[in-house]
Amino acid sequence: MATAIYLEHYLDSIENLPCELQRNFTLMRELDNRAEEKKCEIDKLAEEYIKNVRNLAPDQRVEHLQKIQNGFTKCKEYSDDKVQLAMQTYEMVDKHIRRLDADLARFENELKEKLDVSGYESPDSRTAKKAGARGGLKEKRRTKGRGRKSSDDDSPRKKKTKNSPEFSESILPVHPSDVLDMPVDPNEPTYCLCHQVSYGEMIGCDNPDCPIEWFHFACVDLTTKPKGKWFCPRCTQDRKKK
């Protein structure tokens, strides 16, 4: 019954996920198309500039180069929007994965508590107890056969009491893990000053040689995407030193 409830709630939560993913992927495809169209315009402007550069006045050259620069700026905006959309899509799927992990852990805990209350014993535990009981009977028979006056009768090797570690270990039941362990994929790349995986809104450093590249908004004290170029704290310090 509990399994059905968990499953029903989870299926309800992901009911709209396929539509949301399809919408995000469609938007990413549109951004790709816009970026490609803009790159074609830039190529045409560059060819036209190279062809007529000798016949252009200085003001016309500056105007033509400004058009090319504006095209690159617009193309970069499309690329940034696509990256942000891809990160939102990843976070959307990852949120449902985390919820599934949490539901599995809660379900296992509830199942374990019910088994403990009902006194249920696993087959492994029963086997261990039977083995311990047979060992204890054999030992008692050996002790009786050797007589009470033997000097070795009270030796720990000949008697096993209930409090001895050897006896206790032979009947200990095997318990399942308290919480289902779902580790993060070790191959998933980490970013930012906190060295964590990508989540939420992130911003890229405009320094092409930045060793970290991507940063979480909260880690660099940002709430919205800044206008113009943005450099991370480490690259900003390096630029000041230069």
Mean pLDDT of residues grouped by 10 in the chain (242 residues)? 65 80 90 92 92 89 92 91 90 83 80 75 58 56 48 41 40 38 63 84 90 90 88 88 74
Token code pair at residue 218 = 């909260």
Asked if 38 contacts 79 with a C-beta cutoff of 8 angstroms, the reply is: no
Binding site residues for Zn(2+), as ranges? 192, 194, 205, 210, 216, 219, 232, 235
Token code pair at residue 14 = 């992901």
Binding site residues, as ranges? 192, 194, 205, 210, 216, 219, 232, 235
Q: What is the DSSP string of 220-242?
A: GT-SSPPSS----HHHHHHHHH-
Percent of residues in the chain assigned helix, strand, coil, to nearest 5: 65, 5, 35
* Ranges of each domain in the chain: 1-118, 202-241
AA letter at 55? N
Q: What local confidence, expressed as pLDDT, does residue 169 receive?
A: 39
Asked if 228 contacts 238 with a C-beta cutoff of 8 angstroms, the reply is: no
Q: How far apart are CA 55 and CA 202, in angstroms?
A: 46
Q: What local confidence, expressed as pLDDT, does residue 134 receive?
A: 57
Q: What local confidence, expressed as pLDDT, does residue 14 receive?
A: 77
| pTM (predicted TM-score) | 0.43
Q: What local confidence, expressed as pLDDT, does residue 106 receive?
A: 79
Per the listing, tokens 């170029």 go with 229
Buried b (16+ CB within 10 A) or exposed e, 190-209: ebbeeeeebeeebbbbebee
Q: What local confidence, expressed as pLDDT, does residue 62 receive?
A: 92
Query: Right CATH number for 202-241 from 2.30.30.60, 3.40.640.10, 3.30.40.10, 3.40.50.300?
Result: 3.30.40.10
